[in-house]
Amino acid sequence: MKDKTKLLITLEELLKKDFSLDEKIKEALKLIFEAFEAKNCTFHRADSGDSFLHLVDQIGLPEKIAQIASKIPIGKGMAGICAERKEAVTMCNLQKDESGVARPAAKDTKVEGAVVVPLINKEGKVIATLGIGKSGEYDYSDDEIVSLKKCAQLLMEKLSQ
């Protein structure tokens, strides 16, 4: 991962700009995608009216996969399990997953190393998830997961305003 301190400062500055919320999310994903040298990056939002995560924006997903990932049940797939457990979910190689955490369509992304973190509001509710994936097998370090969680926290603060 590139300089995490610079990432957080740049992300914080971006989120203060006078852009629409959608533009801020899109630009934030670009920053995170580049900083983590990812193959893809996703942002799902939880709606209080149902038990699904809804894809807000993404980078790098094939169109077919983006359509499948547009609505994910809480508790299913990496993002859904992350939302259900309210904690980061990581996988060194989702292509070899036999636990059932990675959904079959996720394997079509050709991503191996993946991590998803929750955005949790002050009431302790998951309002969104932020995920990244890499091309090869990859074990995310504790520092990288903490950095991604800090990115998620900055995004959560913006969403809560």
pLDDT at position 77: 87
Contacts of 61 (CB under 8 A, 6+ apart): 40, 42, 69, 109
pLDDT at position 98: 60
pLDDT at position 115: 93
Annotate 113-134 with DSSP letters as a single string.
SEEEEEEE-TTS-EEEEEEEE-
pLDDT at position 149: 94
Q: Mean pLDDT for each consecutive 10-residue tract of the chain (161 residues)?
A: 82 93 94 94 90 95 91 93 94 58 58 87 93 88 94 86 67
pLDDT at position 104: 59
Architecture of the 4-159 domain = 2-Layer Sandwich (3.30)
pLDDT at position 157: 86
